[in-house]
Chain A
Amino acid sequence: EPEVTQTPSHQVTQMGQEVILRCVPISNHLYFYWYRQILGQKVEFLVSFYNNEISEKSEIFDDQFSVERPDGSNFTLKIRSTKLEDSAMYFCASSPGQGNIQYFGAGTRLSVL
C-alpha cells in the first residue's frame, strides 16, 4: 500500500540553526500538508500546498517557515532559524483531492537544544 515517507525520523539541532524536514507524498496525490504536534498538545495545521503554491497557512506558519516541492516527488518544510518552541513532531500529509482524505507520514521528531 502506498504511504507517505518522512525523513529523518528524529532531528536534533541547535537553536538558531536551519533545518529541512523532508517528505515523499503518495505519488499521484495533488495536495500536500504539514502539521505539527508539540508534546502533550493537539495536532496543529501549519500549511497546505497545491499546484506549486501555498493554499492556506496558519498563524503558526510565519516567515521562519517555508515549503517547497523541488521536484516531482519531494515536499520539504524549512525552518530558517529554529527556536526552542519549534521542538515538536512534524507530520506531512498528502491527499488525492477527493473528499479531503489526508494520508499521514510517521512524522519527524524535531528537538531544538
Chain B
Amino acid sequence: AQSVTQPDIHITVSEGASLELRCNYSYGATPYLFWYVQSPGQGLQLLLKYFSGDTLVQGIKGFEAEFKRSQSSFNLRKPSVHWSDAAEYFCAVGKGGSTLGRLYFGRGTQLTVWP
C-alpha cells in the first residue's frame, strides 16, 4: 500500500541553523515526490518536486531535497533557516509517469524557529 511517513511531528531550530526534515515513502511503482509548505491561513505551497534524473533537487526559498531510492527517502534540507520558514511541511508521493492521480501525504512536520 502507498504511504508516506514523516517521523518528526514537531521540530524546533534556531534561526541560522541547518534543517533536515525526514520523509520515507512506500510506493509500488516509480514515484513522483513532492514537498509542500503550509503557513497559517495559507494553502499548500509547492516547495519542490522530484520526477527523475538528478537525485538532488532545488526548490524555492533555498530548500533542497535528495531522493535516495535505496532508502525510500526524500529528505528536505535547508542550510540556514530563517524565522519566516516557520510553518508546517508536508511530504507527498504520486504516481510516476502520470499526468494525474491522487497524492498521498505524510502527517506533516511543524517547524518552529527560535530567534
Nearest neighbor of A4 in chain B, beta-carbon distance: B43
Q: A42-B106, A43-B105 are in contact. Are A103 and B98 (CB under 8 A)?
A: no
Q: How far is the CB of A12 from chain B (nearest CB, A)?
A: 17
* Residues from chain B with Cβ under 8 Å of A6 in the complex: 43
Residue B71 at the A interface, CB < 8 A? no
Whether B17 sits at the interface, judged by CB under 8 Å, is no
**A100/B43 in contact, CB under 8 A:** no
Give Cα distance in the complex from A43 to B49, angstroms: 18
In the bound complex, CA of A99 to CA of B51 (Å): 8
Q: How far is the CB of B1 from chain A (nearest CB, A)?
A: 13
Q: Which residues of B contact A (CB under 8 A)?
A: 32, 34, 36, 41-46, 49, 51, 90, 92, 94-95, 98-108
Contact surface of A with B, Cβ cutoff 8 Å: 3-4, 6, 31, 33, 35, 41-45, 48, 50, 55-56, 58, 91, 93, 95, 97-107
